[in-house]
């Protein structure tokens, strides 16, 4: 059936949707507008009020002088911080110590600072700051952190965490906020999370609400609430796991992802992981499908099928050949977030990169 | 499908919002009232997707009262709708922070039957059941679906008010509706098998009610 009726009420009415509309209408907005209080008016600058009493030549002269002054100030600002002029900045509030945007101390006298596109916020061992992300969320910046604003356009808000720790809480629609790290990019899919990067560029992402997509080249990881994922330069995101998983499970996973150097070693670690996986660890086992050698994939399939049976339409042959649609359908069966959101964002982002490159 | 259409924010705005925002910034209360009339359904729908129905009306007013003094902070007046939507989502998050652990609430929103009025009719119960199924969908789908099915907004209207692209709204509606249909059909087949259990539950509720009446002075 086509969706025209669902979309804009046109086309042939869908009786099921009509029934839902009728049944649910009682929950809709019925309220009257409240009595709004007197509004505080933002007064015009006094200089404009003076203009009223002046003659036209004087008005033109004053306007020209004002324009020259503004141009001079902007040139000076641009000369000092060229990148800051490429877009509107995000507000930075000092929490402790002396966070710095470029060479300027933030909020030293009580006011807030701005982080412009291309500018870097640095906190030392005693400093902390909060950033308001273009009306869609907040980022708390811990001590010893270096963070750059890459883009702040509508729907495309992007930071680069060079080192340190941030806590992000984003309430925008999924896919509008991303953080680059030296070893992967974290994409908000509607969530709250903590991201840490050390001096070597290695990092950890821990999600506390919603879920996050983590990606380097073709290696991707989905990290739902309660899960953690490590990442390493030149390798990318490891395999995510729930933070209540047994220690031996986590250690085997870390070796499998980052340190096992021969196929035999990896196979031995994989055995431990599959043997110890709990039903909840289907999260980890699903990710392993695309990370193991072809010869090992059958074992991973069998273990995942024993934890969460594949949905209708997903076949062993399809999974062994890494059929993306089947992998996605099985992921959705885990009920940890709809992978469609990620695919949509990821495609859009890749296109944007190609267009810009 | 052009993927950029699905995620990039649209530049379109409901005609006249900018003029109303300018007027409201100058202290025109009628203009702010007009903004309320235009956007109250969106605010109501976003809240209904996240907080219990009995608190939604109060929170709608709260969101507008919060937005009013902050109008001067709005950098791009043509994006009043998306700005207000972000304030609304933030207010819903604050609500959960103030009341109880977010995870527990999300779970209870999808599972409980608290929207059923005390003196409920069969149609009240059915409506509450459907609403709880909508709320058990992922956040993206439930918000768009509530704006469409509960608040009666069309897809183009949802896109214009929230700042999502028409493509994104259309996809959310389609997939959200698909998932809702699955949940409703599962629930219907479950209900058939449960009819005996329901009868038992009703009898127990009746017994409890009689007991309460007997204990009343």
Backbone angles phi, psi at A185, to 5 degrees: -115, 135
Q: What is the pLDDT of residue A346?
A: 62
Tell me, yes or no, whether A125 and A268 share the same domain.
Answer: yes
Q: What is the pLDDT of residue A351?
A: 44
Q: Is residue A319 in some structural domain?
A: yes
Question: Do B4 and A171 lie within an 8 Å CB cutoff?
Answer: no
Q: State which residues form the domain around A63.
A: 46-80
Nearest C-alpha of chain B: how many angstroms from A227?
A: 14
Q: State which residues form the domain around B150.
A: 3-215
pLDDT in tens, B37-69: 999 999 999 999 999 988 999 899 889 988 888
Tell me, yes or no, whether A67 and A125 share the same domain.
Answer: no
Q: What is the pLDDT of residue A78?
A: 46
One-character DSSP codes across B147-166: HHHTS---HHHHHHHH---H
Tell me, yes or no, whether A257 and A143 share the same domain.
Answer: yes
Tell me, yes or no, whether A143 and A210 share the same domain.
Answer: yes
pLDDT in tens, A224-269: 989 999 999 989 999 999 999 999 999 999 999 998 778 889 999 9
The domain boundary residue, chosen from A28, A61, A80: A80
Tell me, yes or no, whether A181 and A287 share the same domain.
Answer: yes
Number of domains composing chain A: 2
Instruction: Specify whether the CB–CB gap between A149 and A157 falls below 8 A.
Output: no
Backbone angles phi, psi at A9, to 5 degrees: 80, 5
Integer angstrom CA distances of residue A163 from A137, A195, A258, A334, B181 = 21, 10, 20, 33, 46
Q: Is residue A230 in some structural domain?
A: yes
Q: Which residue positions in chain A have pLDDT lower than 70?
A: 1-2, 34, 37-88, 107-111, 154-155, 173, 190, 344-357
Provide the mean pLDDT of chain B.
75
Question: Do A175 and B7 lie within an 8 Å CB cutoff?
Answer: yes
Question: Do A344 and B177 lie within an 8 Å CB cutoff?
Answer: no
Cβ-nearest to B48 among A25, A27, A172: A27
Q: Within A205-254, where are the H helices?
A: 247-254
Tell me, yes or no, whether A153 and A71 share the same domain.
Answer: no
Q: Is residue A85 in some structural domain?
A: no
- Residue A196 C-alpha from the chain's centroid: 14
Six-digit token string for A19: 């029934």
Nearest-angstrom CA–CA distance, A317 and A315: 5
Question: Do A29 and B40 lie within an 8 Å CB cutoff?
Answer: yes
Six-digit token string for A308: 């969460």
A-to-B residue pairs, Cβ atoms closer than 8 angstroms: 155
Integer angstrom CA distances of residue B96 from A130, B90, B107, B137, B139 = 21, 10, 12, 18, 15
Nearest-angstrom CA–CA distance, A165 and A175: 21
Nearest C-alpha of chain B: how many angstroms from A52?
A: 19
The confidence band for B208, taking pLDDT boundaries of 50, 70 and 90, is: very low
Mapped onto helix, strand or coil, the DSSP state of residue B38 is helix
Instruction: Specify whether the CB–CB gap between A136 and A156 falls below 8 A.
Output: no
Domain CATH number, residue B99: 1.10.1740.10
- Exposed / middle / buried, residue B126 (Cβ in 10 Å: 0-12, 13-18, 19+): middle
Mapped onto helix, strand or coil, the DSSP state of residue A226 is coil
Nearest-angstrom CA–CA distance, B47 and B53: 8
Tell me, yes or no, whether A181 and A61 share the same domain.
Answer: no
Number of domains composing chain B: 1
Nearest-angstrom CA–CA distance, B162 and B147: 10
Tell me, yes or no, whether A107 and A242 share the same domain.
Answer: yes
Tell me, yes or no, whether A130 and A65 share the same domain.
Answer: no
Q: Report, as an integer, the average pLDDT of B12-21.
A: 74
Instruction: Specify whether the CB–CB gap between B179 and B68 falls below 8 A.
Output: no
Q: Is residue A7 in some structural domain?
A: no
Q: What residues of B are in contact with residue A348 (Cβ under 8 Å)?
A: 3-4, 6-8
């Amino acid at each position: 059936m086509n969706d025209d009726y669902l979309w804009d009420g046109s086309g042939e009415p869908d009786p099921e949707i009509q029934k839902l509309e009728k049944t649910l209408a009682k929950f809709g907005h019925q309220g009257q507008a409240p009595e709004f209080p007197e509004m505080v008016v933002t007064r015009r600058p006094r200089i404009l009020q003076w203009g009223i009493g002046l003659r036209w030549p004087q008005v033109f002269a004053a306007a020209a002088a004002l324009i020259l002054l503004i141009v001079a100030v902007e040139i000076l600002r641009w000369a000092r911080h060229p990148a800051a002029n490429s877009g509107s900045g995000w507000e930075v509030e000092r929490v402790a110590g002396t966070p710095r945007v470029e060479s300027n101390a933030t909020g030293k006298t009580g006011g807030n600072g701005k982080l412009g596109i291309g500018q870097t916020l640095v906190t030392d061992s005693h400093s902390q700051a909060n950033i308001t992300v273009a009306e869609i969320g907040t980022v708390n910046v811990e001590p010893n952190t270096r963070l750059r604003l890459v883009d702040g356009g509508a729907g495309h808000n992007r930071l680069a965490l060079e080192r340190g720790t941030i806590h992000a809480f984003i309430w925008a629609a999924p896919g509008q906020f991303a953080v680059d790290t030296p070893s992967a990019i974290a994409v908000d899919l509607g969530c709250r999370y903590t991201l840490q990067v050390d001096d070597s560029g290695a990092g950890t992402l821990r999600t506390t609400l919603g879920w996050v997509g983590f990606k380097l080249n073709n290696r991707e990881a989905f990290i739902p609430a309660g899960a953690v994922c490590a990442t390493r330069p030149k390798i990318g995101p490891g395999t995510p796991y729930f933070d209540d998983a047994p220690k031996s499970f986590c250690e085997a996973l870390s070796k499998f992802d980052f340190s096992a150097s021969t196929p035999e070693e990896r196979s031995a670690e994989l055995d431990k992981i599959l043997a110890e996986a709990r039903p909840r660890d289907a999260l980890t086992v699903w990710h392993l499908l695309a990370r193991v050698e072809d010869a090992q994939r059958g074992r991973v399939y069998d273990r995942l099928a024993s934890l969460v049976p594949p949905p209708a339409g997903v076949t062993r042959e399809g999974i062994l050949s890494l059929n993306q649609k089947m992998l996605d359908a099985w992921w959705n069966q885990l009920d940890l977030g709809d992978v469609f959101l990620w695919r949509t964002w990821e495609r859009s982002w890749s296109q944007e990169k190609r267009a810009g490159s | 499908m052009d993927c950029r259409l699905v995620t990039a924010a649209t530049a379109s705005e409901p005609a006249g919002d900018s003029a109303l925002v300018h007027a409201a910034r100058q202290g025109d209360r009628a203009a702010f009232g007009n903004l309320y009339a235009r956007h109250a359904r969106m605010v109501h729908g976003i809240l209904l997707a996240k907080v219990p129905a009995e608190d939604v009306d109060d929170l709608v007013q709260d969101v507008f009262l919060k937005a009013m003094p902050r109008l001067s902070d709005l950098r791009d007046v043509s994006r009043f709708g998306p700005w207000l939507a972000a304030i609304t989502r933030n207010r819903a998050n604050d609500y959960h922070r103030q009341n109880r652990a977010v995870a527990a609430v999300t779970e209870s929103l999808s599972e409980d039957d608290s929207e059923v009025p005390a003196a409920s009719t069969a149609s009240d119960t059915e409506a509450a059941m459907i609403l709880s199924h909508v709320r058990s969908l992922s956040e993206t789908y439930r918000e768009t679906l509530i704006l469409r099915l509960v608040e009666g907004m069309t897809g183009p209207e949802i896109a214009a008010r929230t700042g999502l692209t028409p493509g994104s709204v259309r996809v959310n509606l389609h997939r959200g509706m698909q998932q809702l249909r699955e949940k409703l059909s599962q629930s219907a087949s479950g209900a058939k098998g449960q009819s005996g259990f329901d009868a038992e539950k009703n009898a127990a509720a009746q017994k409890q009610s009689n007991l309460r009446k007997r204990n009343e002075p």
